[in-house]
Amino acid sequence: MKQLRLVVEAEDYDEAVAFYRDTLGLPEEAAFSGPGEAHVTILDAGRATLELANPAQHGYIDEVEVGRPTAGHVRVAFEVEDSAGAADRLVAAGARLVAPPTRTPWESLNARLDGPAGLHLSLFQELGEPVFAPDYPITTERLSLRPIDLERDLDDLHAYLSLEEVCRYIPPVPRDREQLREAYAPSRRPSVLRREGEVISLGVEHEGRLIGDAVLFWHSEEQRSGEIGYVINPEFHGRGFATETARALLGLAFDGLGLHRVTARVDERNTASARVVERLGMRKEAVAREADWFKGEWTTLVHYAMLESEWG
Ligand SMILES: CC(C)(COP(=O)(O)OP(=O)(O)OC[C@H]1O[C@@H](n2cnc3c(N)ncnc32)[C@H](O)[C@@H]1OP(=O)(O)O)[C@@H](O)C(=O)NCCC(=O)NCCS
């Protein structure tokens, strides 16, 4: 056997080619035209496998991923690096989201969509074993850093993320509660790391209340580099909570993950955040003038860093 090729009739051919080739990103292998406006495009879909499932398994997968019987006789599944990102792109390109990325018992993150050419699609991301799974909660003198639990934390998250002053210098987050629920779903906010390029996202709890959240990015395995970020509810500002949070993140980065270099990028107008990283001993290394087109204006970023030899 040399190849499995799935042949599909597409009513709207141009739409289907644009969707599967340009948006999903399947490289074009060949394209031909024939008599009477006949067109065909062959896309390289990586490795092909044929999954044969009995009705019990077919129903079980629908139940896990969608919560009801959904797929027809045939389902087209693509393995991707990032099922959440790919699903967002495909939805923006016109696919109908049937089920958002859901973590399955077999450690994959699977989304379902209806795509052009009448295909019911699965996007699956193999998660693999975590290489870094801290023992939560991480406790400091006054705080507890732990995975966000939306059932408990949504109101607290919404209380500060809906404020203009909080969001001024941080990447956009939705203001609407339901969108916030999606943006902070466990699949999008992991608390373990499986490979470089991933991020750990944690809630910051004080006396039983979520007062902020924090992130540790793992940029490179080879360079052993990462980056931190944090947000604290203004009700709790000026009491050293961001400093305590950032110190815990540095501990996680250096002592836990074994990083060599940790950075923070701060908008030059964000003096409170600059104070936090300076107080922790992060060095100001560079001022990247108007480096970022951010929320409708050029933004100057101050780069801070700390090496493992400077920590502790
Ligand atoms: C930046 C932020 C996390 C600081 O939180 P915090 O808990 O108040 O920080 P801390 O109390 O640990 O320390 C803040 C320092 O800035 C000072 N500070 C606090 N609010 C300030 C303000 N509005 N303007 C200037 N300085 C301020 C504090 O006095 C303290 O300085 P000190 O060490 O000289 O006493 C918080 O302002 C925030 O959540 N901002 C919005 C999100 C954000 O910008 N995150 C950082 C992205 S890089």
Q: Which residues line ligand 1 (CB under 6 A)?
A: 166, 169-170, 229-232, 237-243, 266, 270-273, 275-276, 279
Q: What is the pLDDT of residue 119?
A: 97
Query: Which of 206, 227, 233, 237 maximizes ligand 1 atoms within 8 Å of its Cβ, making it the mutation to test the pocket?
Result: 237
Give residue 302 CA to ligand 1 midpoint distance, Å.
15
- Tens-place pLDDT, residues 94-142: 999 999 999 888 889 999 999 999 999 999 999 888 999 999 999 999 9
Q: What is the pLDDT of residue 132?
A: 97
Instruction: Give CA–CA dist 312/295, Å, rounded.
Output: 36
Q: What is the pLDDT of residue 175?
A: 84
The ligand 1 atom nearest the CA atom of 273: 1
Give residue 211 CA to ligand 1 midpoint distance, Å.
13
* For the chain, domain boundaries: 13-126, 138-310
Q: What is the pLDDT of residue 59?
A: 94
CATH top-level class of 13-126: alpha beta
Q: Would you say residue 1 has pLDDT above 90?
A: no
Under CATH, what is the fold of the domain 138-310? Aminopeptidase (3.40.630)
Please, which pLDDT band fits residue 160 given cuts at 50, 70 and 90? very high
- Tens-place pLDDT, residues 75-90: 999 999 999 999 999 9
